Amino acid sequence: MSTFSVRIALVAISLGAQIAIAFADGPPTLDVGPSCNAAARGAIVIGRDKQACMGDENAALDTLRKNWAKYIAADKVQCIGNVRTGGPASYVELLSCLEIMRDAKAIRESDPLDGPLTGPQPSPRRRHERRS
């Protein structure tokens, strides 16, 4: 099997796993320790240590568990993929992503300028021909 075929298979398996997680009864299990270690190392505010970060992560996980069934499956797939790539995973980031996706959908659905046009439609403009 070629290297390209192996890569395609791995991507397909990864996406399949993310879709399965999106339809699961609760949020995925993430290792947030590395994320909190990094946050504590870069903290400029006193008291923002690993323990404070873990408290935020646990609060986000509780919120995710409580509301997991309310989130759209496609949003879960996208947000889970986002938090699992590019750096340490975080429930706070997963929750933020899902809330942004939910809020963006609500804005799109309530925006009167984004919906279908109703009422009289403007007639197409005719080009005036120059008369010589």
pLDDT at 67 over 60: yes
Residue 18: predicted pLDDT: 47
Structure confidence at residue 38 as a pLDDT band (50, 70, 90): confident
Tokens encoding 70: 């309310």
pLDDT at 115 over 80: no
pLDDT at 111 over 70: yes
**Predicted TM-score of the model (pTM):** 0.66
What residue segments make up the domains of the chain, in order of their start?
33-110
**Distance from C-alpha of 40 to C-alpha of 48, rounded to nearest angstrom:** 6
**Distance from C-alpha of 62 to C-alpha of 40, rounded to nearest angstrom:** 22
pLDDT at 24 over 90: no
Question: 80 with 21: CB under 8 angstroms?
Answer: yes
- What share of the chain in percent tops pLDDT 90? 48
**Distance from C-alpha of 64 to C-alpha of 70, rounded to nearest angstrom:** 10
Q: State the residue for tokens 């949003």.
A: 75
pLDDT at 60 over 70: yes
> Is the model more confident about 48 or about 21?
48
